[in-house]
Amino acid sequence: ETLSNSFSSALKKIRFKDDEKALKKALAELKKSLLKADVHHKVVKELLQRVELDTKAAGIGRDSFLKALQKNLTQILTAPGKQGFVYASKPPTVVLMTGLQGSGKTTTTGKLANYLKLRGKKVLVVAADLQRLAAVEQLRQIAQQIDVDFFGEEDEKDPVKVVNDALKLAREKLYDVVLIDTAGRLAIDEALMEELKRVKEAANPDEVFYVADSLTGQDAVRSAAKFNEDIGITGVILTKYDGDSKGGVAISLAHQIGVPLRFIGTGEKMPDLEVFIPERITNRLMGAGDIESLAEKTAAVIDEKQAKKISKKIAKGKFNFEDFLEQLESMKKMGSLKNLISMIPGMGNMAKAIKDLDLENSKEIKKIKAMINSMTPKERKDPDLILKNNSRKRRIAQGAGLSQQEVNKILKQFNNAAKFAKKFAGKKGMQDMQNLMK
Ligand code: GDP
Ligand code: MG
């Protein structure tokens, strides 16, 4: 069970009658779900104390409790430092990707390269993991898949040589960013740390990212601390924060390492990478979903200008069928729909039910597309024209080969979705969350 799930059910159980006994019960529920989600007991203790204090200070009640929880969770998730990807003042920005074997270094190197490429950067990925069999080939294939330049040296044994050669090339060819994939081990050992120290010295990186597997729970926290001690890290990327991840490890990591979480990996595909933003994670953990991440993910695929235009439209309640078609097309380019859906407020459970919805072949989507194709350009831009006009509905139904009932149903769904989206785009955060849980 994920933290978000156990949180939602725990929070639903909380009924306040403005007294201390109710607060104690609420705190007990919270404690249970945090511990179940693998949050370190010290962090749980601290968080509960802060929530109790803040709730009492504001006057015991459901609202003050939720507000205190949101505030303190966010605070714990916020380690001082940078957010997302930060470019060096003088290119190329050099990034060392470190971590244990299987944590997701190579995949995440590809994801980051993809993320930067979509933002117009010239990126070079460098295969400096010469330990793991076929690691060089794995990165080469990923680079090819996302159409990013790759640097590797067949039969070379010394990663320092690879790094030196790669950086020379990167300076000559004016790359914006160089991402260096390094070797891991199954467990931390001297040889690994020695190699990494040498590689770091050669690379003189702007960032050292520690890639941590969220499924390894407290082990991830311990090894991140050790890497920070020995090598010095500037950020953590938490992978496999999808599926079976309990989610609590983010809280422990942020609390105990003192280095900011920068990105999270939410799936195996290249687009499954998100900037780590504490407020968003808090809202998602508390079951409130996350419209902003959704918008950002969309922005990586369509261009940012268009994404801004669309979120503005949503906020004004002016999202129309044309936008919908565009969204559908760009969603096809994104990673699994399941992740996207889980970001929509209140849809966490639905996401669980959906495996990977096939956008291309879904019957519903085909119907909607047929319907939109039968509309005039004016109708596509203004759904209201159809809503109030039976002869238009009849014409569209005929053109699309649908019954009028089906057309009505789709229109209603569309209208509800637009209203829903407007509500969440308009006023954010706490209030939405509380409304949802009422
Ligand atoms: P490395 O040994 O650290 O380079 O790890 P790899 O990049 O080879 O990844 C190990 C496995 O984890 C692969 O099967 C990846 O597909 C998988 N993986 C990496 N990141 C994620 C993630 O965010 N979510 C999921 N579900 N799988 C991931
Ligand atoms: Mg690897």
Q: In this structure, are residues 250 and 74 in contact, taking their beta carbons and an 8 Å threshold?
A: no
- Residue range 108-115: mean pLDDT, rounded: 96
Is residue 114's pLDDT more than 90? yes
Q: What is the pLDDT of residue 369?
A: 80
Centroid of ligand 1 to alpha carbon of 142 (angstroms)? 12
Q: Whose CA is nearest to atom 9 of ligand 1?
A: 104
- The burial of 87, by beta-carbon neighbours within 10 Å (0-12 exposed, 13-18 middle, 19 or more buried), is given as middle
Angle between helices 248-257 and 218-230 (to 10 degrees): 30
Same-domain pairing of 273 and 304: no
Structurally, the chain folds into a number of domains equal to 3
Q: What is the pLDDT of residue 128?
A: 97
Question: In angstroms, what is the span from residue 322 Cα to ligand 1's centroid?
Answer: 37
Assess whether 165 and 265 both reside in one domain.
yes
Cα 332 to ligand 2 centre (Å): 28
Question: Does some domain include residue 280?
Answer: yes
Tell me the pLDDT band of 340, cut-offs 50, 70 and 90.
Answer: low
Nearest CA to ligand 1 atom 13: 104
Does the annotation place 111 within a ligand binding site?
no
Lowest mean pLDDT, pick from 15-29, 171-185, 215-229: 15-29
Would you say 100 is a known binding-site residue? yes
Res 438: pLDDT? 30
Q: Which of 210, 217, 278 is nearest to 248 (CA)?
A: 217
Q: 277-323, pLDDT tens digit by residue?
A: 888 888 777 765 555 555 555 555 545 555 566 666 666 666 677 77
183 annotated as ligand-binding: yes
**Is ipTM > 0.95 here?**
yes
> Across-strand partners of 238?
212, 264
Other Cβ atoms less than 10 A from the Cβ of 281: the count is 27
Determine if residue 120 is labeled as part of a ligand binding site.
no
The enclosing domain of 325 has a CATH number of: 1.10.260.30
Residue 243 in contact with ligand 1 by CB distance below 6 A: yes
The answer to whether 104 is a known ligand-binding residue is: yes
Rounded CA-CA distance 353/387 in Å is 31
Whether 298 is in a domain gets the answer yes
For position 173, what pLDDT does the model report? Answer: 97
Write down the pLDDT at residue 433.
32
Pair (185, 215) in one structural domain: yes
Q: Do the domain assignments include residue 407?
A: yes
Q: Specify whether the CB–CB gap between 263 and 274 falls below 8 A.
A: yes
Residue of 379 and 297 predicted with greater confidence: 379
Task: Give the residue whose CA is nearest to atom 28 of ligand 1.
Answer: 268
Q: Mark which of 252, 270, 285 sits at the end of a domain.
A: 285
Compute, in angstroms, the gap from residue 438 CA to the centroid of ligand 2: 46
Residue 346 is predicted with a pLDDT of 47
Q: Which token pair is 355?
A: 């495996």
Q: Is 101 in the pocket of ligand 1 (CB under 6 A)?
A: yes
Same domain membership, residue 129 and residue 252: yes
Taking alpha carbons only, the member of 40, 3, 51 closest to residue 342 is 3
The answer to whether residues 376 and 423 belong to one domain is yes
Show the tokens assigned to 301. Answer: 């695929």
Ligand 1 proximity of 268 Cβ (cutoff 6 Å): yes
Q: 């769904």: which residue's tokens? A: 413
Range of the domain at 126: 93-285
Higher local confidence (pLDDT), 330 or 205: 205
Express each pLDDT in 56-91 by its tens digit.
999 888 778 888 988 999 999 998 889 899 999 999
Please report the pLDDT score of residue 351 as a whole number.
Answer: 47
Distance, CA of 223 to CA of 212 (rounded, Å) = 8
3-state secondary structure 383-413: CHHHHCCHHHHHHHHHHHCCCHHHHHHHHHH
For residue 172, what is the domain's CATH number?
3.40.50.300
The mean pLDDT of the chain is 81
For residues 316 and 257, membership in a common domain is answered with no
- Does 84 fall in a domain? no
Structural domain contains residue 82: no
pLDDT value, residue 302: 47
Residue 404, token pair as written in the block:
């009028």
Distance 134 CA to ligand 2 centre (A): 9
pLDDT at 11 > cutoff 60: yes
Starting at the edge strand found earlier in the chain, the sheet holding 273-275 runs 149-151, 123-128, 177-182, 93-98, 207-213, 235-239, 261-265, 273-275
- Single out the residue of 234, 155, 239 nearest to residue 200, CA to CA: 234
Same domain, 133 and 265: yes
| Range with lowest mean pLDDT among 1-10, 167-176, 256-265 | 1-10
The answer to whether residues 167 and 112 belong to one domain is yes
What's residue 51's pLDDT? 93
Same domain, residue pair 267 and 365: no
Ligand 1 contact via 111 beta carbon (within 6 Å): no
Is 83 a member of any domain?
Answer: no
Neighbouring C-beta atoms of residue 288, cutoff 10 Å: 28
Q: Is pLDDT above 90 for 16?
A: no
Q: Whose CA is nearest to atom 12 of ligand 1?
A: 104
* 401 in a structural domain: yes
Please state the rounded mean pLDDT for residues 120-149: 94
105 Cβ below 6 A of ligand 1: yes
Distances (CA, A) of 393 to 23, 325, 372, 375, 380: 54, 19, 11, 9, 13
Q: Do both 67 and 181 map to the same domain?
A: no
Q: Is residue 52 part of a domain?
A: yes
The residues, ordered by sequence, that sit 6+ positions from 47 with a Cβ below 8 Å of its Cβ are: 34, 39, 72, 73, 76, 251
pLDDT of 158 strictly over 80:
yes
Percentage of the chain exceeding pLDDT 90: 40
pLDDT at residue 102 tops 60: yes
Taking the CA of residue 135 as reference, the ligand 1 atom at the shortest distance is 4
Distance 109 CA to ligand 1 centre (A): 10
Q: Amino acid letter at 331?
A: M
Label residue 412 by pLDDT band (50, 70, 90): confident
1 or 192: which carries more pLDDT confidence?
192
Kindly report which listed range (160-164, 358-362, 374-378) carries the lowest average pLDDT score: 358-362
Cα distance between residue 207 and residue 135, in whole Å: 22
- The residues, any chain, with a CB within 8 Å of residue 250's CB and separated by 6 or more, are 77, 214, 238, 241, 261, 264, 276, 281
Domain final residue pick, 77, 110, 133: 77
Q: Specify the higher pLDDT residue, 387 or 129.
A: 129
Which pLDDT band, with edges at 50, 70 and 90, does 373 fall under? confident
Find the range with the poorest average confidence among 227-241, 311-325, 397-411.
311-325
User: Is the predicted pLDDT of residue 49 greater than 80, yes or no?
Assistant: yes
CA neighbor of 380 nearest in space, from 392, 372, 388, 390: 372
pLDDT value of residue 388: 80
Is 265 marked as binding a ligand? Answer: no
Gap from CA of 223 to ligand 1 centroid (Å): 17
Give the per-residue pLDDT at 418: 64
Residues 299, 154, single domain; the answer is no
- Residues 158 and 103 grouped into a single domain: yes
Q: Any binding-site annotation on 99?
A: yes
Are 91 and 175 spatial neighbours (Cβ–Cβ below 8 Å)? yes
- Ligand of minimum distance to the alpha carbon of 128: 2
The best mutation among 100, 106, 107 to test binding of ligand 1, ranked by most ligand atoms within 8 Å of the C-beta, falls on: 107
Pick the last residue of a domain from 28, 52, 77.
77
Distance CA 329, CA 337 (A): 13
